[in-house]
Amino acid sequence: MKVLVIGGGGREHALAWKLKQSEGVEQVFVAPGNAGTARDVQLTNLPITDKVALREWVQANGIGLTVVGPEAPLAAGVVDEFRAHGLAIFGPTQKAAQLESSKAFSKAFMQRHGIPTAEYQAFTDPVQAHAYVDAKGAPIVVKADGLAAGKGVVVAMSPAEAHEAIDFMLLDNTLGVAHNEGGARVVIEEFLEGEEASFIVLCDGVNALALATSQDHKRLLDADQGPNTGGMGAYSPAPVVTPAVHQRAMDEVILPTLRGMAADGIPYTGFLYAGLMITPDGRVKTLEFNCRMGDPETQPIMMRLKSNLAQVLLSATRAELDRVTLDWDPRVALGVVLAAAGYPLNPRKGDPITGLPADEVDRMVFHAGTADANGQVAVSGGRVLCVTALADTVAAAQKRAYSVVNGIQFDGMQCRRDIGFRAL
């Protein structure tokens, strides 16, 4: 079987890396891919991003399964395009992807179906938004209602920060709301205390199958300081997700979401990522939904997965996830993101990268924002690489990953030095 992975980031590199190991898979294409997937002789980059052109290429080349990595193609309706022509594709439809592409849709859905989440209101009028902050005070959370590559959230610790975020998102609209009609909108919600975890499942419209637990690090700097990013590192498993918390997440968040989407006439298929806040007393609240695997959580999760990923995802396209069990490496996987100079607001591109090691089965450098520049791997995006390692403990995995990090160089390279600290 031939498989296509749509996307060009670290998540897609990790998915393609795991899919190529699946028995029965003869070739894996990545569209458009990056310099890391280009370096792998078992992967083939495909310079196509248009959904109709991709669908036509899949039909012409006998692709048996397509897996969608990032959010933008989902919000643009690539799954609808493929399904209209009877092609096997794993991901949610355009309407279902509103769980991520519109924070306002997602919050209203959760409220309607009794899924625990933070109190909120949505605003298009900055005057009303500012008045709401004045009434509620801080800390408070301001979110852009649209796709913002993981950077559209400001956890404002003071009213002044919240007011600045409102102006940035509504008046400047610098982030751009690509997939929602009616211009810029913000969701303002209560600040929740606790520890965050990433709870990612596979869905086939009826059934949900949980992946290994994981936890990412959103802030740019050590000790969770600095601005929010798309993620500066992650590890799996996440000790904060105890068996009891896992059960609550399934019973109170995931299964009600599947039932609610079906009841609303929008059956949900694909990866579903619930960003959870776990309160000190073990309660679970939903911070957000993503309609794809997290990045950088995918990298450690894929390193731990021992099952045949292609067969698992094919089963999901046939609504047969209730027949599937997943096999996991008991070891810890930990990934450290290396980011470009100026990330997250103004990442610099073009810096050459040196010191990249050869791939190993239990130690990988997954590429995200990289491109080939005259035979030299160079920076092409904000989050550039994710150095991921397997070991028996969090401390050992951390040590292995940072030993590789220390050998990689590019000008202005940023990385946190404490990935995994919550589990140590």
Handedness of CA 227, 293, 381, 146 (dihedral sign): negative
DSSP codes, 51-112: HHHHHHHHHHHTEEEEEE-SHHHHHTTHHHHHHTTT--EES--TTTTHHHH-HHHHHHHHHH
Label residue 173 by pLDDT band (50, 70, 90): low
Q: For the chain, what is the mean pLDDT?
A: 94
Average pLDDT over residues 39-54: 97
Q: Which helix (H) or strand (E) holds 288?
A: strand 284-290
User: E strands, 326-382, where?
Assistant: 332-339, 363-367, 370-373, 376-379
Query: What pLDDT is attached to residue 360?
Result: 93
194 has a pLDDT exceeding 80 = yes
Query: What pLDDT is attached to residue 151?
Result: 58
* Residue 372: Cβ-neighbour burial (10 angstroms; 0-12, 13-18, 19+): middle
Closest by CA to 277, choosing from 197, 222, 188, is 197
Label residue 148 by pLDDT band (50, 70, 90): low
266 has a pLDDT exceeding 50 = yes
| Angle in degrees, 0-180, between the axes of helices 255-263 and 103-112, rounded to the nearest 10 | 100
Counting residues of the chain whose pLDDT is more than 70, the rounded percentage is: 96
Cβ atoms of residues 273 and 294 within 8 Å: yes
Cβ atoms of residues 365 and 359 within 8 Å: yes
Query: What pLDDT is attached to residue 179?
Result: 40
Decide which of 274 and 172 is more confident.
Answer: 274
Largest CA distance in the chain: 60
Residue 291's contacts (CB-CB under 8 Å, 6 or more residues apart) are: 71, 74, 91, 92, 96, 97, 99, 100, 101, 270, 271, 272, 273
- Ranking 86-90, 101-105, 120-124, 397-401 by mean pLDDT, the lowest is 101-105
Query: What pLDDT is attached to residue 178?
Result: 47
Label residue 292 by pLDDT band (50, 70, 90): very high
pLDDT in tens, 198-245: 999 999 999 999 999 999 999 999 999 999 899 999 999 999 999 999
Using alpha carbons only, give the angle 184, 190, 192 rounded to the nearest 5 degrees: 125
Query: What pLDDT is attached to residue 170?
Result: 86
Report CA 393 to chain centroid distance, whole Å.
24
What does the alpha-carbon distance between residue 140 and residue 132 come to, in Å, rounded to a whole number? 10
Q: Which helix (H) or strand (E) holds 186?
A: strand 186-190
pLDDT in tens, 319-343: 999 999 999 999 999 999 999 999 9
Cβ atoms of residues 113 and 254 within 8 Å: no
- Tokens 């509504």: give the residue: 170
